[in-house]
Each structure stands twice: as C-alpha cells, then as structure tokens.
C-alpha cells in the first residue's frame, strides 16, 4: 500500500466572528492517493475554499489533522509549511496572473523565487509552454490572451517547480464550455504524463464527470458522500448529491419527474444502471418471453471518463412473480432501484 498523498483525519474548522461562530468544516476523514484525480464538489458555502486553505496550510484546522506528503501541517513551523506548499501547484478561478509580466515572465516567477538560474528557467519554460501549447505566445501579456489561454499560463506556472500536487480551485468556473473542455484536457494530461495528483474544487458536476476518478460531496461543512465518480453518478444517496447530479444528468428522474411517472404509469417502476461492461439489452430482449410488459419511461446513456453509464427507468407490467423474475435478472448485471 502506498501512503496517501493527502490525509484528513477528523478535520473540523470553526471561524469565530466576535461572539458568533461558523462551523465551516466538520469531521472530514479522507485519504487522497498519489496519482489520482480527486474532486470536491458542493454548493456555495459548503466549505470548499476552506478545505483548499487547509491543504495548502493557509489555515490550520480547529480539530483533527491534515497531512500532506507525509507532513502533518498543524505540527510544522511556518518555514516548513512553506516548503510543503512548494510541492503544491495552485490554479485559480481568476487566473491570478501578473499583468505587468509576459507569459514567459509569469511562468518564470515561481522559478525565480525558488532561486533557479536563468538558463535552467529558460529550459524549463520552453518545456512548459510546449506542454500547455503556448510556445507562440511567450512574449504576450495577459491582457492579450483569451480566458482559456490565461488559464493555460496559470497551469504552466503551477507546474513550473514540478509539484506532486496540483490544486485547482474552480479553475474552469470563469470559462465557456469549449474552453472548459480544453483546460480539463490539460489537467488530465498533467495527471497522465507527469503523474501529478490533481485535486479539483468545483461546483460543476460536469467537471467531475469528465475529469475525476473519485469525488467527495460537501454539504454545509460535512462530507455527505464520497466514492468513485461512477458510483456517485449511478446511485447518489445524499440529498445534496441528488440535487447536484440531477442538475447535470437527465438520465435519472428528479423529484418532479418521479411524481409525473407515478401518476402516469401503473406498473412497477424501477431505475436500472448497468454495471460496467454489462449489456442491458440482452436481459431486456428476453423480458417478453417472461410474459412481462416493458416500457422505457426515462433515461439515457452518458459518458464518464470515456466509459458508458447507462441508466433507464422502466415500467414493468404483468404477474407480480414474473415481474420479480425480470427484476432479479436485471439485478445481476445492474444496480436496480425502485422509483418511489
Ligand atoms: N475567514 C472566515 N471567517 C468567517 N467565516 C468564514 C471564513 N471563511 C469562510 N467562512 C464561512 O465558512 C463557510 C464555508 O465557506 P467556504 O468559503 O469554505 O465555502 P465554499 O464552498 O468555498 O463557498 P463558495 O463556493 O461560495 O466560495 C461559510 O459559511 C463562510 O461564510
């Protein structure tokens, strides 16, 4: 077993404002493994920014411990915390580029701070600009770049000192959907080609769907659910997750659609999500032989990191025992949930 690269153990954070206090995070326990792409998702105020500040040591937890790269941050001196922070590249929503510096100058900045020689900086920047596809724009200023190009510069700067962790805080929230796709592809490339662990903080399920391996859902400071992106998409349990997933995917009926389905259909309503690699069609094709009627009443197919996720809501009619036989057959190759 490899050691987790980031570990939260019983982490809580309370902010005090005069006599009032806000519990921004509560009882977070979680391991993030080296080389994975991990997403934190939640609505506004869920505690996402606080979590970022705990990972990069800008805030200390009120309870529990945060360990990064084997170093427990609450026990370190400010100097040592700065060293650990050097192993974390940060990517921001508003890019945070220096307006007075060119693309080259922006990417050079962290290397200058780290004391690299001019020659080494030149070689590293040549590599980085090639990696992010901005070789031609080395001498442009931020104001001459599109939002997507600015974020590419942000990513090149974040990767400059070869950190093992890339922490992307709402990195695509200011970008349009096409540009978002490009930036997500670049984060994936950093993960695949450089082995960088990527931690993304987002309120957009679309980012989670196309980028992450695992996801944790934050709601009012608590981690209400976590697991593989596929698990969370196919069977969201917590209310907050259902709302977030429902806003992105139309393959699962939301509350209003469930009411409409129940009013319109008299059979047994189930939602089935095929297990990876299984073909629902084979079972569904035999349903008629069992004397059971079947209608597709909701659902569709979406893709998660290149894999199909197939979810359909079915209205099954016929003898109760025959319907049960069909449900049992489906349950062998799919997650089956009653619609109720
Ligand atoms: N420095 C602070 N002082 C007092 N309260 C704070 C502080 N920082 C955050 N909070 C509170 O902690 C809670 C979580 O805030 P946080 O910014 O972490 O949420 P978020 O999920 O990042 O939200 P958003 O997406 O809107 O940025 C909120 O209730 C917020 O008001």
pLDDT digits (tens, 9 = 90+) for 127-138: 999 999 999 999
142 secondary structure, DSSP code: G
Q: With respect to CATH, is domain 255-338 assigned 3.10.129.10?
A: no
The confidence band for 1, taking pLDDT boundaries of 50, 70 and 90, is: low
Which tens digits make up the pLDDT trace of 37-61?
A: 999 999 889 999 999 999 999 999 9
- In the chain, what's the furthest Cα-to-Cα distance? 79
Predicted local distance difference test score (pLDDT) of residue 191: 97
Ligand 1 neighbour 99 (Cβ under 6 A): no
CATH homologous superfamily for the domain 6-247: P-loop containing nucleotide triphosphate hydrolases (3.40.50.300)
Terminal Cα distance for the chain, rounded: 41
Residue 39 CA to residue 52 CA, distance in Å, equals 11
Span from the CA of 49 to the centroid of ligand 1 (angstroms): 7
Which tens digits make up the pLDDT trace of 243-290?
A: 888 777 778 787 788 899 999 999 999 999 888 888 888 888 888 888
Predicted local distance difference test score (pLDDT) of residue 195: 95
What distances in angstroms separate CA 94 from CA 7, 145, 147, 148, 175, one per listed residue? Answer: 27, 13, 9, 11, 10
The confidence band for 14, taking pLDDT boundaries of 50, 70 and 90, is: very high
Judge contact between 160 and 187, C-beta under 8 A.
no
CATH 3.30.70.260 domain extents, the chain? 255-338
Span from the CA of 221 to the centroid of ligand 1 (angstroms): 9
Encoded tokens for 131? 């990696």
Ligand 1 neighbour 209 (Cβ under 6 A): no
Rounded to two decimals, the ipTM of the complex is 0.94
Residue nearest ligand 1's atom 26 by CA:
44
Ligand 1 neighbour 24 (Cβ under 6 A): yes
CATH 3.40.50.300 domain extents, the chain? 6-247
Span from the CA of 316 to the centroid of ligand 1 (angstroms): 47
Q: Which helix (H) or strand (E) holds 226?
A: strand 222-228
Mean pLDDT of 176-182: 92
Ligand 1 neighbour 17 (Cβ under 6 A): yes
Ligand 1 neighbour 46 (Cβ under 6 A): yes
Which of helix, strand or coil describes residue 70? Answer: coil
């Amino acid at each position: 077993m490899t050691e987790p690269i980031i570990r939260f153990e019983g982490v809580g954070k309370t902010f005090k404002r005069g006599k009032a206090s806000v519990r921004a995070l509560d009882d977070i326990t979680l391991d993030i493994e080296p080389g994975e792409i991990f997403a934190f998702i939640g609505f506004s105020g869920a505690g996402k920014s606080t979590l970022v500040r705990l990972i990069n040591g800008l805030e200390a937890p009120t309870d529990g411990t945060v360990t990064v790269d084997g170093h427990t941050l609450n026990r370190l001196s400010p100097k040592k915390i700065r060293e650990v922070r050097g192993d974390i590249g940060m990517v921001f929503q508003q890019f945070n580029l220096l307006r007075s510096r060119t693309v080259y100058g922006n990417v050079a900045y962290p290397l200058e701070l780290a004391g690299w020689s001019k020659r080494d900086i030149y070689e590293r920047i040549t590599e980085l600009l090639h990696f992010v596809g901005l070789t031609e724009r080395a001498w442009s200023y931020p104001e001459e770049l599109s939002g997507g190009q600015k974020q590419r510069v942000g990513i090149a700067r974040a990767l400059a000192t070869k950190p093992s962790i890339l922490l992307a805080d709402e990195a695509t929230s200011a970008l349009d959907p096409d540009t978002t796709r490009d930036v997500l592809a670049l984060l994936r490339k950093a993960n695949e080609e450089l082995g960088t662990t990527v931690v993304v903080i987002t309120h957009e399920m679309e980012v989670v769907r196309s980028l992450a391996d695992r996801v944790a859902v934050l709601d009012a400071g608590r981690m209400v659910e976590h697991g593989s992106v596929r698990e969370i998409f196919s069977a969201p349990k917590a209310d907050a997750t259902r709302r977030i997933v429902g806003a992105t995917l139309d393959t699962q009926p939301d509350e209003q659609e469930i009411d409409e389905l129940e009013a319109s259909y008299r059979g047994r309503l189930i939602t089935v999500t095929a297990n990876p690699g299984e073909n629902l069609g084979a079972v569904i094709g035999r349903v008629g032989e069992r004397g059971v009627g079947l209608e597709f009443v909701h659902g569709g197919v979406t893709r998660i990191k290149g894999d199909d996720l197939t979810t359909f809501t079915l209205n099954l009619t016929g003898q109760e025992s025959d319907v049960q036989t069909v449900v049992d057959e489906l349950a062998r190759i799919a997650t089956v949930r009653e619609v109720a």
